[in-house]
Amino acid sequence: MVTAIVLIDAETNRIPDLANRIAEMAGVTEVFSVTGRHDLVAIVRVARNEDLADVISDRMRHLEGIVATETLIAFQAYSKQALEAGFELGLD
């Protein structure tokens, strides 16, 4: 599983609509409206790195109202849930 965090700059009047449209995309698990430098943050989880291009470059970035995106690809998860799942799989 590949996880990417997509930081999204959007036209202000389109943020709610974009958030809903992005949240409905296959591969997108969560979308947050945030304060700070960016307007939205989307969490994308796909099977392969190549699938990121389909979700982010081919579909998400072409939505009208998105000004720019920055994608961060996660190397490893350190959340409590991820660590517990790893121990259940015998990854200790």
**CATH number for the domain including 29?**
3.30.70.920
CA distance 89 to 52: 26
**By C-alpha distance, which of 55, 61, 70, 65 is closest to 15?**
65
State phi, psi for 9 to the nearest 5 degrees.
Answer: -100, 130
CA distance 9 to 39: 5
The total of structural domains in the chain comes to: 1
The model carries a pTM of: 0.83
Write out the chain's pLDDT in tens, 92 residues: 899 999 999 999 999 999 999 999 999 999 999 999 999 999 999 999 999 999 999 999 899 999 999 999 999 877 666 656 655 555 55
Give the range of the structural domain holding residue 75, as residue numbers without chain letter.
2-88
